[in-house]
Amino acid sequence: MTTDTFPKAARRTALLGGVEVTIQGMAKGSGMIAPDMATMLSFVATDAALPAALLQAMLSAGVKRTFNCITVDSDTSTSDMVLLFATGAAGNAPPASTAPDAPELAAFRQALDSLLEELALMVIRDGEGATKLMTIDVTGAVSDDSAWRVAMAIGNSPLVKTAIAGEDANWGRVVMAVGKCGEPADRDTLSVSIGGVCIAQNGTVRDGYDETPVVAHMKGQEISIAVDLGLGEGHARAWSCDLTHGYIDINGSYRS
């Protein structure tokens, strides 16, 4: 049984060794989604001629910032996977360097990352019962890993996800999620913005905060939450969706 509601595929091209190469990918999955590459499946294929180890390194780096930054319900499947196949049919010259960050690979890497993000976001948009996409940016963390854990805690919080479903800019629940995740954070340096509007700064509601534009933002389908921890340079972006009656229907009533 699948609960996917639309096919998920994406395509990119990039110049590599003077030749245009193509990357195509597809994914399936909408619940039990909090990939930790390990029932989310994604297959990516390219005609680029590149060594397997280099492809794996670029794929791992790309997945870290895309598929491993999405969550529908915090539940991780036992069979999550992203596979990248390369046929070499494009006939590009082999890269002089096999360092994943080599400049000559920049266009390919960028195309791959962009394709992975598009596929990962398709999975979230089709999250079981989801009606809204939540993009969570965390900055000012002590490290990128710490920022990622904070972003995922916000994305996984049932109270944040139900507030989004209820179209309420409940920044207090965002602060709660920051607080519970165990990462370094300080109420007095914390800022929270929703829909690009700074609501709370240094731990308190900003003087003159006007809820009107934020209320309008919450009625949309693309919700943006930004948290600045004010501690360091670490940053991360994660994506989640709202938690609605649809999720309960799909996962609680599937036998009736």
Which residue's CB is nearer to its own copies, number 32 or number 90?
32
139 phi/psi in degrees, rounded to 5: -130, 170
Cα separation, 155 vs 160, in Å, equals: 7
Exactly one of 91, 94, 166, 184 binds its own copies (CB under 8 A); that residue is 166
Residue 71 CB, shortest distance to its own copies, in Å, is 11
Q: Is 171 in the site for its own copies (CB under 8 A)?
A: no
Minimum CB–partner distance for residue 15 and its own copies (Å): 40
Q: How far is the CB of 220 from its own copies (least distance, A)?
A: 16
Q: Does 71 bind its own copies (CB under 8 A)?
A: no
Max alpha carbon distance in the chain (Å)? 60
Contact criterion met (CB below 8 Å) for 30 and 127: yes
Options 19-27, 165-173, 188-196, 198-206: segment touching its own copies (CB under 8 A): 165-173
From residue 177 to residue 216, the character string flagging contacts with its own copies as x (rule: CB under 8 A) and all else as - is x-xx------------------------------------
Distance (Å, whole) CA 216 – CA 220 = 7
Least distance between its own copies and beta carbon 147 (Å): 19
Let me know if 39 is a catalytic residue: yes
Instruction: Specify the DSSP element, H or E, that contains 238.
Output: strand 234-241
Structure tokens at 29: 């999955």
Residue 7 in the binding site for its own copies (CB under 8 A): no
- The Cα 207–Cα 200 span in angstroms is 9
Interacting span for its own copies (CB under 8 A) from 59-67, 118-126, 196-204, 236-244: 236-244
d(CA 13, CA 51): 18
Of the two residues 186 and 233, which places its CB atom closer to its own copies in the complex?
A: 186
- The single-letter DSSP state of residue 17 is T
Q: What is the three-class DSSP state of 50? A: coil
Query: Please, which residue, 2 or 78, has the CB nearer to its own copies?
Result: 78
Pair 241, 128: CB distance under 8 Å: no
* Residue that the structure tokens 């030749």 belong to: 19
Q: Of 10, 46, 48, 73, which one interacts with its own copies (CB under 8 A)?
A: 73
Return all residues near 79 (Cβ < 8 A) that are at least 6 apart. 38, 39, 41
Strand bridging mode 41-46 / 81-86: parallel
Contact of 149 with 57, CB cutoff 8 Å? no
Work out whether 220 is an interface residue with its own copies (CB under 8 A): no
Q: Check 5, 22, 39, 139 and give the catalytic one.
A: 39
Could you say whether residue 34 binds its own copies (CB under 8 A)?
yes
| CB nearer its own copies, residue 76 or residue 114 | 76
Catalytic residues: 39
Interface positions with its own copies (CB under 8 A): 31-32, 34, 36, 38, 73-78, 156-159, 162-163, 165-168, 173, 175-177, 179-180, 242-245, 247-248, 251-256
